[in-house]
Chains A and B, each alone.
Chain A
């Protein structure tokens, strides 16, 4: 009875908690695999930079249409993609490396976004855009997040093989299948789409948290792409669930509670994980032969 009260009752009793939980589940389904590929492609920081790049787009949407789900999502999507492609282009036509180029764009985006929101909105609006509010996710937002998750999983299934090959041995893929950059661009679109989905619930600053933390943590436990993705989904979902409960029981903001739960998984994985963790490196038990 007590367990039920603590773990399940809040979701049974309140519609907004249920919607938040479903939103987390949908987010986990899309963001888990995307985060996995970001980690494998050594693009973890890029996810972070891109999430900030969404801000000015969402802010322009806000400027035009107020707190409209569709205007802010569309704005975020367009500007996010533009920044991703521009950063890639700049690093190709100049001597600047892609990470430095992204860092430049991300700082400009963040500043521009905050400025644009403040042109019309209040601090409350700014907080909403920056940190989201998963507890006020309505059915429309839920539909958007679920659609993006479905689209992500279907697309990933369709391009799984070339995406893996491109990640692992790009020269081979381009030699056997022609242009690998097509898959890279499709993947970038998926990254931005999932960040837009996450931004509904967690805001632009933390949307990337549910994407990167479970994926980075999974690296310490799983040894194949599919199992990494599956584990990321599970950890992202459990982070959402536990985070929402912590937020409910202790009256804490939900976004940080969710991300910090994912962060706890990450830290525990660094310490205790099966592959390459501190425990596996320095205290290898009888079951683990690392070398």
Chain B
């Protein structure tokens, strides 16, 4: 489904915390409709990259160019650790937040939009869970809820930060199906992942990074032993160069 026209271009992108680069002079582009995995060792700047694409972090150098999409066309799945799962909110209300682009701060969520919420619940296999408080859900069920919110967001570009971390196999398989469905619809999907087998099985394109770019292209060509060794060596070199500090967990 993908063509070569870029939807998102990174030009010489550097993102730093306290003047220490988490992403260093990264360049390249995501093709429209592509399905890309972002992989790399811990602290490689993968989540940082996603955050800067959504606008949560500002680049210290270089820039991110959107082509044919607006910032509001990008949907983002944060890591679960960044969400307060004890918050007193129902599953349906959480998913309805996905309508934000249409309802904003004040407008009511009306009948047809609640129908979309129900449809999304059904698609993620949680029919009937609408009125459950999220605090009662398992990690896997909660991730299904967040995917339902993404379905409702109906965005052209979807960014997923470790969507399968601490998730059971069954849920991973179901959610992977939804990702494949988005890809088939021509949406651009970019996911930070750890499981290399999963990447090889399901993701045609891979961006391998260790603060700087190691490889970006067809998955089989990028995930070579040589490249993975180089990524690890780079990560070690950077770790020696930079002292640990308080923002590291976000990198």
Interface residues of A (CB under 8 A from B): 40, 95, 158-159, 161-162, 164-165, 167-172, 174-178, 222-225, 228
Which of B37-45, B97-105, B184-192, B210-218 contacts its partner? Answer: B97-105
Contacting B56 at CB < 8 Å: which of A161, A175, A224?
A175
Contacting B88 at CB < 8 Å: which of A165, A175, A178, A222?
A222
Nearest-Cβ distance from residue A128 to partner chain B, whole angstroms: 38
Q: CB-CB < 8 A to B75: which residues of A?
A: 175
Tell me if B72 is interfacial: C-beta within 8 Å of chain A.
yes
Residue pair A170, B82 in contact (C-beta under 8 Å) = yes
Tell me if B126 is interfacial: C-beta within 8 Å of chain A.
no
Q: CB-CB < 8 A to B124: which residues of A?
A: none
Residue pair A175, B84 in contact (C-beta under 8 Å) = no
Residue pair B76, A40 in contact (C-beta under 8 Å) = no
Residue pair B89, A168 in contact (C-beta under 8 Å) = yes
Tell me if B55 is interfacial: C-beta within 8 Å of chain A.
yes
Closest A-B pairs by Cβ, 7 of them: A171-B78, A168-B87, A176-B100, A175-B54, A175-B76, A169-B83, A223-B88
Extra 11 A-B pairs, beta carbons < 8 Å, given A169-B78, A172-B76, A178-B55: A95-B246, A165-B97, A167-B87, A170-B82, A171-B54, A174-B55, A174-B56, A175-B74, A175-B76, A222-B88, A223-B133
How many chain B residues touch A (Cβ–Cβ < 8 Å)? 25
Q: Closest residue of chain B to A165, judged by CB?
A: B97
Q: CB-CB < 8 A to B106: which residues of A?
A: 158, 161
Q: CB-CB < 8 A to B51: which residues of A?
A: 171
Q: CB-CB < 8 A to A176: which residues of B?
A: 72, 97, 100-101
Q: Closest residue of chain B to A168, judged by CB?
A: B87
Tell me if B90 is interfacial: C-beta within 8 Å of chain A.
yes
Contacting A177 at CB < 8 Å: which of B74, B84, B88, B100?
B100
* Known contacts A158-B106, A162-B105, A177-B105; A171/B56 CB under 8 A: yes
| Bound-state Cα–Cα, A177 to B75, Å | 12
If over half of A's interface residues share one DSSP class (helix, strand or loop), that class is named, otherwise mixed; here it is helix
Residue pair A225, B88 in contact (C-beta under 8 Å) = yes
Q: CB-CB < 8 A to B76: which residues of A?
A: 171-172, 175
| Bound-state Cα–Cα, A167 to B75, Å | 19
| Bound-state Cα–Cα, A176 to B103, Å | 11
Nearest-Cβ distance from residue B87 to partner chain A, whole angstroms: 4
Residue pair A40, B87 in contact (C-beta under 8 Å) = yes
Q: CB-CB < 8 A to B97: which residues of A?
A: 165, 169, 172, 176
Q: CB-CB < 8 A to A159: which residues of B?
A: 105
Q: CB-CB < 8 A to B83: which residues of A?
A: 168-169, 171-172
Nearest-Cβ distance from residue B204 to partner chain A, whole angstroms: 26
What per-residue 1/0 map shows which CB atoms of B62-99 lie under 8 Å from chain A? 00000000001011101000111001111000100100
Q: Closest residue of chain A to B78, judged by CB?
A: A171
Q: CB-CB < 8 A to B84: which residues of A?
A: 40, 167-169
Nearest-Cβ distance from residue B170 to partner chain A, whole angstroms: 21
Q: CB-CB < 8 A to A228: which residues of B?
A: 88
Identify 16 residue pairs between A and B in the complex whose beta-carbon atoms are under 8 Å apart, listed by A's number: A95-B246, A161-B106, A162-B105, A167-B84, A169-B78, A169-B82, A171-B82, A174-B55, A175-B54, A175-B55, A175-B56, A176-B100, A223-B133, A224-B88, A224-B90, A228-B88
| Bound-state Cα–Cα, A228 to B89, Å | 11
Q: CB-CB < 8 A to B88: which residues of A?
A: 40, 222-225, 228
Q: Closest residue of chain B to A42, judged by CB?
A: B84
Q: CB-CB < 8 A to A224: which residues of B?
A: 88-90, 133
| Bound-state Cα–Cα, A290 to B74, Å | 38
Q: CB-CB < 8 A to B78: which residues of A?
A: 169, 171-172
Q: CB-CB < 8 A to A162: which residues of B?
A: 105
Nearest-Cβ distance from residue A183 to partner chain B, whole angstroms: 9
Q: CB-CB < 8 A to A172: which residues of B?
A: 76, 78, 83, 97
Q: CB-CB < 8 A to A177: which residues of B?
A: 100, 104-105
Q: Closest residue of chain A to B53, judged by CB?
A: A175
Q: CB-CB < 8 A to A178: which residues of B?
A: 55
Q: Closest residue of chain A to B54, judged by CB?
A: A175
| Bound-state Cα–Cα, A177 to B74, Å | 12
Q: CB-CB < 8 A to A171: which residues of B?
A: 51, 54, 56, 76, 78, 82-83
